[in-house]
């Protein structure tokens, strides 16, 4: 759709989105923004109480389906349930993730495998399950939530960095493969965003806080809705010719000096 009207170009009316890990943090913010743009949203996660609370706050355009993204064989069943209960999704946001901060000597193989299973295998399984219905619809937008660790070297998070760097290859390969079918695949690389996870990571570590702000040209942390509106853009007709991109939303941190 090509329109010179902003309300059309950025509209997600009649779209159905799936957001993994949508009950908290950036997932919840993206759900809020997609709903504001007119979409209906299905959030997924492992904790039914968190999902229920999120749906209550998000309102009638939100629904939830309990699902652990590491249940790789269960992804197809999840998509069947969503289509039966909510309709055909044409937006998928691979957001669910886990994180371990340890030096390499303490970073266990079990932790490494768990991080890759959640981020890489989980996103692969969800994408694989969602693509057939998008192909039948003739359009779709798939978004991978990458990270600053996809782009720059950060210490003590080797498993997380490996997983998020893998998203770069997944986005580019899938964008090349699926572009001819009308499905676009992109990524968002959030910078340091004010979430409970960031607050916990920086608690009592003023040196690290100062270091982050020093390399961020805008000299502040981002807000969750900064990621939410980026997801709206990449899902909308305004981005109809945007494919295979990793969009940093980071206040310039990835290029700052």
Residue of 144, 160, 192, 233 marked catalytic:
160
The three-class DSSP label of residue 187 is: strand
The three-class DSSP label of residue 98 is: coil
Given CA atoms 22, 23, 24, 29 in this order, what sign does their dihedral have? positive
Is the separation of the CB atoms in 31 and 62 below 8 Å?
Answer: yes
Sole residue written with tokens 């909308």:
236
The yes-or-no answer on residue 160 being catalytic is yes
Written as six digits, the tokens of 88 are 């055909």
Q: Return all residues near 135 (Cβ < 8 A) that are at least 6 apart.
A: 181, 182, 183
Helix axes 25-36, 48-58, angle to 10 degrees: 30
Cα(153)–Cα(165) distance, integer angstroms? 10
Other C-beta atoms lying within 10 Å of the C-beta of residue 40:
20
The residue count for the chain: 257
Cα(238)–Cα(236) distance, integer angstroms? 5
The one-character DSSP state at 195 is S
Given CA atoms 168, 171, 177, 180 in this order, what sign does their dihedral have? negative
Catalytic machinery residues: 160
């Amino acid at each position: 759709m090509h329109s010179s009207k902003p309300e059309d170009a950025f509209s997600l009316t009649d779209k159905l989105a799936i957001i993994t890990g949508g009950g908290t943090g950036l997932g919840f913010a993206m759900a809020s923004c997609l709903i504001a743009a007119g979409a209906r949203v299905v959030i997924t996660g492992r904790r039914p109480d968190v999902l229920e609370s999120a749906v209550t706050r998000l309102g009638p355009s939100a629904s939830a389906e309990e699902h652990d993204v590491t249940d790789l064989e269960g992804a197809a069943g999840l998509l069947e349930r969503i289509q039966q209960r909510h309709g055909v999704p044409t937006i998928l946001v691979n957001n669910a993730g886990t994180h371990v901060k340890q030096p390499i000597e303490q970073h266990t193989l079990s932790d490494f495998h768990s991080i890759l299973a959640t981020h890489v295998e989980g996103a692969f399984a969800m994408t694989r399950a969602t693509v057939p219905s998008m192909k039948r619809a003739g359009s779709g937008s798939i978004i991978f939530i990458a990270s600053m660790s996809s782009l720059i070297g950060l210490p003590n998070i080797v498993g997380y960095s490996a997983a998020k760097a893998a998203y770069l290859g997944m986005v580019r390969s899938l964008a090349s493969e699926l572009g001819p079918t009308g499905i676009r695949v992109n990524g968002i690389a959030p910078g340091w965003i004010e979430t409970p996870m960031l607050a916990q990571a920086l608690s009592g570590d003023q040196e690290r806080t100062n270091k982050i702000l020093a390399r961020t040209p805008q000299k502040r942390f981002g807000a969750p809705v900064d990621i939410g509106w980026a997801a709206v853009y990449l899902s909308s007709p305004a981005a109809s010719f945007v494919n295979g991109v990793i969009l940093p939303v980071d206040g310039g941190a990835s290029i700052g000096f």
